[in-house]
Amino acid sequence: MTEGRAESTCAPARGTRPANRRQLVVLAAADLFYRRGYAKVGMGEVAEAVGIGPSALYRHFRGKQDLLGTVVGEAMGVMTDELAVAAPDDIARRLAVLGLEHRHVGVLWQREARHLDADRLAELRAATERIGARLAELLARRRPELTADEAALLAWCALAVTTSVSFHRLAPPEPGFTALLTELVTETIDAPIALPAAANPNRVRALATRSRREAVLAEATRLFARRGFAGVSMDDIGASVGIAGPSLYNHFAAKTEILSAVMYRGDEWLWMDMNRVFAAATDAEDGLRRLVDSYVRFVLEQPDLIQLLLSETAHLPESDRKRARSTQHSYIAEWMHLATRVHPEWDPVTARVRVQAAQTIANDVALIPRLRARAGIDAALRVLLTRLLGLRG
């Protein structure tokens, strides 16, 4: 759940005008948005990174939002072009290479895309759908026994593995890193999943607590997940609960306090589930399997919390932000510890890459409503995650 390292960019000498200035701007913006977050980067900082004045930047881009759309859109364009000429037997390596060459995209799409205007966001979502459809088509040719739904699920899971490297700082030496990521994509697209034909019935929330504080937390979680912390006001939360915005201050001193309470709850939920797993497990392998079951259940039941844990940590007050990131690092470290007990031949880097890939599959599926609601999705996710963690049977 942590953000990865960014590629460095070298600014040309000030006063020069290199032929690839536009591309240098895109690379610099990708690096800055990735490392610091879209909201904390100004156009002047992007201009400074490439040695030009801010006014020169606007000759290429209408503004920061246009620049973000270009960063994400160009990476998607490269993937579209690569998949257009891909064959069923070289999918995994192509995706691995693309994932490492455009390592920033996973974080930017997951965390920053909501800053785009509605038209640009719709355009990029359509491009993502086309990428998923093309990959599903290639998988159907690779594995004719798959149903259309199974091929589509594996396509999105393969893309999740590809972008999982965006969420950590590891940089193993090449060609080993590409080989490992290729192996993980291959494990994913060749996974023996089976989805039943029937769809899950729509879940209806029949009951709600009488506590006003709990209602505030529930509605704030939903709104923050859909619109982002910065896009939601106290009045919005109050209206959703059915009270005036100022009345919220009877329960929380500030909007950041609501976010902190929600994030703390999500982190503690994961740790409580992990403690139950450890108490029941008979050995490390059994513990890892139970941990997969627990995590799959959590992400499918609490997709809004997953969205916040992935994308809104930066909005927490500094002390809470440090605590949240430390807690998330420690949680992943427990997965790694179990994985290396089951596989003593794995070094910590291999374990982390595999754990991050497994968790990213679960997270991404949970955040796509049509996949999350699919009958049999929990069993399919368990198969996929256990394969990436080296478990069979």
Domain CATH for 260: 1.10.357.10
Contact 229, 263 (CB under 8 A): no
Does one domain contain both 167 and 220? Answer: no
For residues 328 and 309, the answer to whether their CB atoms sit within 8 Å is yes
Number of domains observed in the structure of the chain: 2
- pLDDT higher at 392 or 67: 67
Is residue 390 within 8 Å of residue 180, measured between CB atoms? no
pLDDT reported for residue 97:
96
- Average pLDDT over the chain reads 90
160-174, 190-204, 206-220, 339-353: the lowest-pLDDT one: 190-204
Question: At which of 157, 189, 221 does a domain end?
Answer: 189
- What are the tens digits of pLDDT across the range 237-261? 999 988 887 788 888 999 999 999 9
Kindly give the residue spans of alpha helices, DSSP state H, lying in the chain: 21-36, 43-49, 54-57, 64-84, 91-101, 105-107, 118-142, 148-163, 176-189, 212-227, 234-241, 255-280, 284-301, 303-311, 318-342, 348-366, 369-372, 377-388
Preceding omega of 175 cis (within 30 degrees of 0): yes
Of 174, 189, 204, the position where a domain reaches its end is 189
Buried b (16+ CB within 10 A) or exposed e, 270-291: beebbeebeeebeeebebbbbb
pLDDT of residue 206: 56
The reply to whether 248 and 166 lie within a common domain is no
Q: Can you tell me the distance from the alpha carbon of 128 to that of 149, in angstroms, rounded to the nearest whole number?
A: 17
Q: Are residues 249 and 184 in the same domain?
A: no
Of 1, 55, 29, 52, give the one whose Cα is nearest residue 115: 29
Instruction: Quote the pLDDT of residue 197.
Output: 82
Is 146 inside any structural domain? yes
Assign 292 a pLDDT band (cuts: 50, 70, 90).
Answer: very high
For residues 310 and 177, membership in a common domain is answered with no
Q: Do 181 and 81 lie in a common domain?
A: yes
Q: Taking 90 as the threshold, does the pLDDT of residue 207 lie above it? A: no
Q: Is residue 359 part of a domain?
A: yes
- Phi/psi region, residue 206 (left: phi>0; alpha: psi -120 to 50; beta: rest), is alpha
pLDDT at position 16 is: 52
Q: What is the pLDDT of residue 19?
A: 65
Q: What is the DSSP string of 214-232?
A: HHHHHHHHHHHHHH-GGG-
The sign one gets for the Cα dihedral 42, 45, 50, 51 is: positive
Please report the pLDDT score of residue 374 as a whole number: 93
pLDDT tier, 273 (very low <50, low <70, confident <90, very high otherwise):
very high
Task: Give the residue, 293 or 198, on which the prediction is more confident.
Answer: 293
My answer on whether 35 and 138 are in the same domain is yes
Quote the tokens at residue 387.
């394969």
Q: Is residue 289 part of a domain?
A: yes
Asked whether residue 354 is domain-assigned, the answer is yes
CA 189 to chain centroid: 19
Least reliable range by pLDDT among 8-17, 99-108, 348-357: 8-17
Q: Phi-psi category of 143—alpha, beta or left, where left has phi over 0 and alpha has psi -120 to 50?
A: beta
The answer to whether the beta carbons of residues 287 and 294 sit under 8 Å apart is no
Residues 166 and 216 in one domain: no
- 150 within a domain of the structure (yes/no): yes
- Give the model's pLDDT for residue 162: 96
Q: Whose CA is closest to 56, among 14, 117, 27?
A: 14
Q: 356 and 319 in one domain?
A: yes
Confidence of residue 198 (pLDDT cuts 50, 70, 90): low
Shared domain for 184 and 218, answered yes or no, is no
pLDDT of residue 260: 95
Residue 251 forms part of a structural domain? yes
Would you say residue 14 lies in a domain?
no
Per-residue pLDDT, averaged over 67-90, amounts to 94
Residues 240 and 174 in one domain: no
Model confidence at 9: pLDDT above 50: no
Does residue 13 belong to any structural domain of this protein? no
Around Cβ 300, how many Cβ atoms within 10 Å?
18
Q: Are 311 and 110 in contact (CB under 8 A)?
A: yes
135 and 243 together in one domain:
no
Percent of the chain residues topping a pLDDT of 70: 92
To the nearest 10°, the Cα dihedral for 162, 177, 28, 329? Answer: 80
Structural domain boundaries, residue 48: 21-189
- The mean per-residue pLDDT over the stretch 92-103 comes to 95
Q: What is the tens place of the pLDDT at every residue in 147-186?
A: 999 999 999 999 999 999 999 889 899 999 999 999 999 9
Side-chain-facing half-sphere of 284: CA atoms under 13 Å: 14
How would residue 8 be classed by pLDDT, with cut points 50, 70 and 90? very low
Which among 222, 302, 288 has a CA at the least distance from the CA of 259? 222
Residues 295 and 216 occupy one common structural domain = yes
